[in-house]
């Protein structure tokens, strides 16, 4: 499994097991999907980017930037902002479990943004989770 897939799996696991998140978005609506979701509200595990940290000759340290999208039909941005805040708190709750091949050295929400969708009915949030991953040499 790649580092970015390990991060995605760990993120979903953290979000579906955090009561403050699933109180706002049902676990069945926390998805890996490549189209606008039918459920409202929904959390979509999105794109990722991996950059070698350059701090290890063994090349075992990578920075994974993972994008999480939030969608909700609402007249304001209040619900999306609440979901973004719950996601941030869930990430801050402790290190992500990346399995046996990787160790989560650090995880943080580096960016949150909320906007109105062009359809006039939907709010959209974007959260970037920044995870420092250390590969475990076996």
Query: What structural domains and CATH numbers belong to the chain?
Result: 3-135 (3.30.2000.30)
User: How high is the pLDDT of residue 117?
Assistant: 86
Tokens read off for 90: 């869930």
pLDDT digits (tens, 9 = 90+) for 8-24: 999 999 999 999 999 99
Q: Is a pLDDT exceeding 70 seen at residue 77? A: yes
Mean pLDDT score, 109-135: 93
Better-scored residue on pLDDT, 34 or 36: 34
Mean pLDDT of the chain: 91
The distance from CA 37 to its chain's CA centroid, rounded to whole angstroms, is 16
User: How high is the pLDDT of residue 36?
Assistant: 64
User: How high is the pLDDT of residue 54?
Assistant: 75
Q: How confident is the model at residue 58 (pLDDT cuts 50, 70, 90)?
A: low
Handedness of CA 2, 30, 22, 76 (dihedral sign): positive
The model's pTM is 0.91
Mean pLDDT score, 132-137: 88
Q: Is a pLDDT exceeding 80 seen at residue 129? A: yes
Place of tokens 């359809």: 119
User: How high is the pLDDT of residue 29?
Assistant: 94
Tokens read off for 24: 């706002």
Tokens read off for 58: 């063994």
Q: Is the peptide bond before 98 cis (omega within 30 degrees of 0)?
A: no
Other C-beta atoms within 10 Å of 61: how many?
18
User: How high is the pLDDT of residue 59?
Assistant: 74
């Amino acid at each position: 499994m790649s580092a970015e897939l390990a991060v995605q799996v760990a993120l979903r696991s953290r979000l579906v097991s955090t009561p403050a998140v699933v109180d706002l978005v049902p676990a069945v609506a926390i998805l890996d999907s490549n189209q606008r979701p039918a459920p409202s509200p929904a959390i979509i595990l999105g794109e990722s980017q991996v950059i070698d940290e350059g701090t290890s000759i063994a090349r075992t340290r990578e920075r994974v930037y993972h994008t999480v999208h939030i969608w909700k039909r609402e007249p304001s941005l209040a619900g999306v902002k609440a979901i973004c805040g719950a996601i941030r708190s869930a990430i801050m709750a402790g290190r992500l479990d990346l399995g046996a091949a990787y160790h989560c050295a650090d995880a943080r929400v580096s960016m949150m943004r909320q906007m109105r969708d062009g359809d006039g009915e939907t709010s959209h949030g974007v959260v970037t989770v920044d995870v420092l991953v250390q590969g475990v040499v076996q």
